[in-house]
Structures are given as C-alpha cells and as structure tokens.
Amino acid sequence: IPVKIIGAPAAKFLTQADGSVLVDGKLPPVTEYQVIAKSDEPSIAGLRLDVLSHTPAAKGRKEKPKPARFRLTEVKIETASDEKFTTPTTLKLAQATADYDEPGMPATKAIDGNRKTHWGADSQADEDHWATFWFAEPLIAKAGGSQPQWFRVTLDQAEKGLRIYEFRLSTVTGKRPEA
C-alpha cells in the first residue's frame, strides 16, 4: 500500500480498501504521479502495476466512470533506505511484461527512455490490465532483511488526456522471465 502519492495540485489520491488508488479531481492534460511505498520483502525482482478499469470502485464518484484508456509514457523506480530518499538509487529496468499490449504500444515502451512512446490498452479499455517492470538485478534488503526498502515510483503520462485513473502497485518476488 502506498505511503504517499504526489501529483498535480488539484488531484486527489484516494486509497481504497483493496490497496488500489483512485485518482480524482482536476488533472492537467499531461501529468505524472509519484508513489512513495515501502516493502519488507527480503528480495524483490520487480514491481507490478495494475491499471484498473475502475467501474466497481467508481460508485462513490461524482462523475461518470471513465474507461481505462491510458498511455503510460515512462516508469522510473528509485529506492532508498529512508522515506526522505536522502541518497536514492535509480533502478535499472531490464524487462517489462504485460497481460495485454495494444498493437504498437507494448509495455516495453514504458521503459525505453523515450517520452514519445508508451504502453496502452485502448481496445480493451473496459478491462483491468497489468504490467510488471523487472529489475536488471534483484533488490536484496540490507541489514539482513530487517530494514524496509523504500520505493519512489514515477508514472509519467505525457499523452494528452489519456491517464491512469485507478491503479495498484505491488512487489514481485522470484525470478524474472526469460526474454
């Protein structure tokens, strides 16, 4: 579950009972979210992003639910031993896998360093989707696993108006799949 989320000043980030985050409020056409989270896992191979179609969680919203048409331009993951990110380390992302890649918009485009490319799922916007962003090397907890790992995950959405409205982040353990 995220500890803190930073975004546009008018954005509201509402943590749901299932650990997902619902984004509400007025957002600029191009935006990014920074999620601060921590994990007590001794070894982490990657992070999974679930993009939810958000029809079930939208019941209490004032506006009509939007389908999950999104463009995730870039993902950046940093880690640190403290919540303030005094000495952050940017993790190298080696691979991205997803349940669905729209033609021309595979999840790998979200880690290619190019803000003109992106991961998206337009033709299946009414369904939940996920992508796992695999680290080049597993992240091993320091101090024998007794110290939590802090993460700062930046979700850059540079495509005008096509953003993520509900999401969930979780750690992934085990080995990354063969490329």
Instruction: Give 58's contacts (C-beta < 8 A, 6+ positions apart).
Output: 22, 65, 166
Amino acid of residue 44? I
pTM, whole model, 2 decimals? Answer: 0.88
Query: Does residue 38 surpass a pLDDT of 50?
Result: yes
pLDDT of 98 reads: 96
- The 10s digit of each residue's pLDDT in 71-116 is 999 999 999 988 899 999 999 999 999 999 989 999 999 999 999 9
More confidently predicted of 158 and 75: 75
